Structures are given as structure tokens and as C-alpha cells.
Amino acid sequence: MEYAKDLLDEVGLGGDRIEMYHIGASDAPIWVEKVIELTERVRKLGPNPLGMQPHEAVRSEA
């Protein structure tokens, strides 16, 4: 995961936009907590710093 975060930092997207959790199926409250936490973090980071919409990024790679 650290490698992926480093790559995102390197291309200018920010490694804080990605996270991985190991949550069991019976831990729904923890899952909800983590979804809320990551959603708030990404909202604070703001829009895509590269200025492209996700579908535009895919098209430019083709």
C-alpha cells in the first residue's frame, strides 16, 4: 500500500486519497466508520489535482 501511495504522490494525485483496511464481514460498524473517515479525508483534499475527470484520464491513456 505504501508503494501505491508513493506513486500517487509522485504523479501529483496525493497518496492520502487511497487506503486499505482489513475488515471482517461481521464488522459493519467499523466499515461504516472507515468509509465516512475516508470520504471526509478526500473531501478535504478537494478535487482531482490533475484537473481531469476520471473518464478523461482513461481516454488519454488509450
Whether 32 and 23 have beta carbons less than 8 Å apart is answered as: no
Show the cell assigned to 42.
Answer: 478526500
Show the cell assigned to 32.
Answer: 461504516
Give per-residue pLDDT as tens, 13-29.
888 888 889 999 899 99
Whether 30 and 58 have beta carbons less than 8 Å apart is answered as: no
Whether 9 and 15 have beta carbons less than 8 Å apart is answered as: yes
Give per-residue pLDDT as tens, 34-56.
999 989 988 998 887 777 665 66
50 phi, psi to nearest 5 deg: -85, -10
